[in-house]
Amino acid sequence: MTTNKRHILLNGYVSPENYRSRSNGRSPQVPARDRAVHGISLLNQYSRILNHYDERPRLPPVTDEKGIYVRLISFEQCDLPIDKIDNTYFKLCSLVKSNNHETAIIYINENDRTKFTKKINDYLNPSKDGIEFPRNHLLIDSIQNIELADITSFWTDKKDLIPDDHGVEKWFELWLKGNKEDVLNIARRLCERINGRLGNTSINFSILLLFLSVRVYRD
């Protein structure tokens, strides 16, 4: 059984200091946009993404996931609402800030693709308005553009280090999450897809496995 113990207090060895958090928090303030213009613009952008996804050649999957990765770009000086893009329907993969814009990469399962469409349609529908703003105001009015994510969307280093000459052999670090067997299978399938070669070196960080050598030959 635990018992209460007195704290040790050392007088004369401490001095009070004012504390100020380095984090300023995420502002919930999102300016209202022109509902019709903005909502229809995002709806068209997202529809083009879905059409492109449906019309693309069906390749063997690299992972067991069936869905799309979408890039959300915020308006200038506007934070994306994390709780709206990382939940039951959407999985937040990364969030970076550059030039006063936030860019989020989210994964949307194939069965949940219409959920985002519904959020935009509800935003456009005046009968679903809240007291002050359209429904889903914080989410929709924070997004300036929606784009289909590509492999460069997952690049974590400086953008100018992305190879622009596909004929030059390069080595990359590949970070994957999961158990070792699944990660190895994903890495092998990815190398087959890009016509690369998987190196023999890896480092296990319990939840992340780092492959130090993926050599790309695609031209």
Averaged pLDDT of the chain: 83
- How many Cβ atoms from other residues are within 10 Å of residue 134's Cβ? 20
Q: Are 42 and 140 in contact (CB under 8 A)?
A: yes
Q: Tell me the torsion sign for CA atoms 11, 17, 23, 26.
A: positive
Spatial separation of the C-alpha atoms in residues 149 and 147, rounded to whole Å: 6
Q: How far is CA 185 from CA 65, 188, 215, 217, in A?
A: 14, 5, 17, 20
Q: What percent of the chain has pLDDT over 70?
A: 80
Quote the tokens at residue 90. Answer: 């959407």
When comparing pLDDT for 170 and 89, which is higher? 89
Banded model confidence at residue 91, pLDDT cuts 50, 70, 90: very high
118 pLDDT higher than 60: yes
Mean pLDDT, residues 44-57 taken together: 92
Q: What is the mean pLDDT of residues 22-44?
A: 82
Regarding predicted confidence, which is higher, 142 or 180? 142
Its pTM stands at 0.77
Which three-class secondary structure state does DSSP give residue 153?
helix
Q: What percent of the chain has pLDDT over 90?
A: 45
